[in-house]
């Protein structure tokens, strides 16, 4: 990747949507091997879309989500309310990873209508707009780590996540500020960002957002039901201080878990941020900008809905996440034969450390900017 500390205000521009080279022999070979593997799995009753294993997992997550929320509403003490709120946040994160994410990718059910229904239901259970998330996530999957085109790099000026983002003094020591910003993520997202995008008609400062009448109605209905069913009840049932404290703990936990999983998979010093190489096809770009972590942990794989297998997910986004562990050795073997490096960050804690290492590097004022500032001061 380019030096993480490099970049200036002059670079904070985006051009046309990046294009990719023709399909490489590597990608053709990998697709053929993966198709053969998935066909064998389908013969065993494990189809690539609508895998019963993913559906059983979804049932368990929904049960945990319902039980933890009920425990919160029935909490006999503040300690019990906080314990329930923490479990509720963990269940909500698992629901987001394993159901909402998969439903929007069209993989949790065989029928498109069932996936749509699941995605809408999750919008009510968790609060995010399905339409806005799909548009944001679509940009991310096409061109990950490409500044201006991957909305996951957009923090509305809070953090610098790419060398292409212009440096500013507020980014100094951002690795110390990041946990605070990450902890506010779901509150800002669910109660402000979605509504601002709807009102402004923009996904971010570069991309417009054109939602039709039916999409706007769905947005308002899902948001209204979320507020009515999952935000308001604790404030009516529990003592006010308990409800406020539980609300803060829930969103702090929910936000940090989401950030930990999604950020480490693309934002470490090992990743590339230089846009799409002229010789790279779509698959090569996905590999250069994605990393796996904790792939030997069945618990983390289950909890994250396979998102710790980020390379496999980006290469096969329309395959149920339960197939990612089986695809991993196939991807690595094919990549090894072609001399392609697959990034593996090791354990989850190691991946988190690598992410904060990137934040620290990107928080340092680029040498060119420092020189220009001193020259202008003379």
SS (H, E, C) 19-48: CCCCCCHHHHHHHHHHHHHHHHHHHCCCCC
Here the tokens at position 41 are 């799995």
Between CA 353 and CA 359 the distance in angstroms is 10
- Give kind and range of the element (H or E) at residue 142: helix 130-142
Looking at residue 8, its pLDDT comes to 42
The answer to whether 129 and 332 have CB atoms below 8 angstroms apart is no
Q: What is the pTM of this model?
A: 0.90
Domain count, the chain: 1
Is 366 a residue whose pLDDT tops 80?
A: yes
Number of other CB atoms surrounding residue 323 within 10 Å? 26
Q: Residue 135: inside a domain, yes or no?
A: yes
Q: Yes or no: say if 309 and 330 are a contact pair by the CB < 8 Å rule.
A: no
CA dihedral 139, 145, 148, 152 (to 10 degrees): 60
Q: Is the pLDDT of residue 234 over 80?
A: yes
**Which stretch of DSSP H or E encloses residue 344?**
strand 343-344
Tell me the two tokens of residue 233: 């009840």
Q: Is residue 285 part of a domain?
A: yes
DSSP 8-state class, residue 202:
B
Asked if residue 333 belongs to a domain, the reply is: yes
Is position 144 within any domain?
A: yes
Q: How confident is the model at residue 356 (pLDDT cuts 50, 70, 90)?
A: very high
Q: Which of 282, 350, 341 is nearest to 314 (CA)?
A: 282
Q: Is residue 128 part of a domain?
A: yes
Mean pLDDT value across residues 66-88? 98
Q: Is the pLDDT of residue 54 over 90?
A: yes
Q: How far is CA 52 from the centre of its chain?
A: 24
Cα(302)–Cα(364) distance, integer angstroms? 37
Q: Tell me what pLDDT residue 114 has.
A: 97
Selected residue with higher pLDDT from 83 and 196: 83
How much of the chain, in percent, has pLDDT values that exceed 90? 73
User: How far apart, in Å, do the first and last CA atoms of the chain sit?
Assistant: 34
Question: What domain range includes position 29?
Answer: 9-377
- Asked if residue 374 has pLDDT above 70, the reply is no
Asked, for residue 284, whether it belongs to a domain, the answer is: yes
Supply the pLDDT for residue 238: 97
Regarding predicted confidence, which is higher, 367 or 101?
101
Number of helices (H), then strands (E), in the chain: 18, 2
The pLDDT, as a whole number, for residue 368 is: 65
1: in domain:
no
Position 367 confidence tier, pLDDT thresholds 50, 70, 90: low
Structure tokens at 298: 């069945």
The reported pLDDT for the residue numbered 370 is 54
* CA dist., res. 99 & res. 104, Å (int): 8
More confident residue, 155 or 4: 155
Q: Which conformational region is residue 17 in: left (phi greater than 0), alpha (psi within -120 to 50 degrees), or beta?
A: beta
Give 170-228 pLDDT, tens digit per residue. 999 999 999 999 999 999 988 998 999 888 888 888 888 888 899 999 999 999 999 99
What's the rounded mean pLDDT across residues 18-24?
Answer: 84
Of the pLDDT bands very low, low, confident and very high (cuts 50, 70, 90), residue 372 is low
230 domain-assigned: yes
Mean pLDDT value of segment 8-36: 78
What's the confidence (pLDDT) of residue 24? 87
Q: Mean pLDDT across the stretch 306-323?
A: 97
Question: What are the pLDDT digits (tens) for 117-130?
Answer: 999 999 999 999 99
């Amino acid at each position: 990747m380019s030096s993480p500390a490099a970049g200036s205000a002059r670079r904070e521009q985006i051009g046309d949507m990046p294009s990719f080279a023709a399909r490489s022999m590597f990608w053709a070979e990998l697709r053929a091997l993966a198709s053969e593997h998935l066909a064998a799995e389908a013969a065993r009753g494990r189809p690539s879309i609508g895998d019963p294993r993913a559906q059983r997992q979804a049932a368990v997550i929904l049960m945990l989500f319902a039980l933890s929320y009920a425990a919160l509403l029935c909490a006999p003490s503040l300690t019990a309310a906080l314990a329930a709120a923490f479990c509720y946040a963990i269940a909500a994160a698992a629901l987001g990873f394993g159901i909402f994410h998969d439903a929007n990718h069209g993989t949790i059910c065989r029928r498109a209508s069932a996936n749509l229904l699941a995605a809408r239901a999750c919008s009510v259970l968790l609060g995010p707009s399905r339409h806005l998330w799909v548009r944001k996530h679509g940009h991310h999957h096409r061109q990950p780590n490409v500044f201006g085109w991957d909305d996951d790099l957009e923090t509305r000026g809070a953090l610098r996540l790419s060398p292409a983002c212009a440096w500013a003094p507020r980014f100094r020591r951002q690795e110390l500020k990041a946990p605070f910003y990450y902890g506010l993520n779901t509150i800002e997202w669910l109660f402000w960002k979605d509504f601002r995008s709807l009102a402004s008609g923009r996904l971010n400062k570069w991309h417009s957002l054109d939602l039709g009448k039916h999409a706007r109605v769905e947005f308002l209905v899902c948001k209204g039901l979320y507020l009515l069913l999952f935000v308001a009840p604790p404030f009516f049932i529990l003592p006010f201080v308990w409800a406020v404290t539980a609300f803060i703990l829930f969103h702090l936990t929910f936000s940090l878990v989401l950030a930990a999983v999604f950020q480490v998979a693309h934002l470490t010093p090992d990743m590339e941020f230089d846009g799409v190489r002229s010789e790279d096809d779509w698959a090569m770009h996905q590999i250069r900008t994605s990393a796996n972590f904790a792939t030997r942990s069945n618990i983390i794989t289950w909890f994250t809905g396979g998102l710790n297998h980020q390379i496999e997910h980006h290469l096969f986004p329309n395959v149920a996440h339960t197939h990612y562990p089986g695809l991993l050795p196939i991807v690595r073997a094919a990549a090894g034969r072609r001399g392609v490096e697959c990034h593996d960050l090791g354990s989850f804690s190691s991946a988190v450390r690598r992410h904060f290492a990137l934040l620290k590097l990107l928080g340092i004022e680029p040498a060119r900017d420092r020189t220009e500032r001193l020259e202008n001061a003379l």
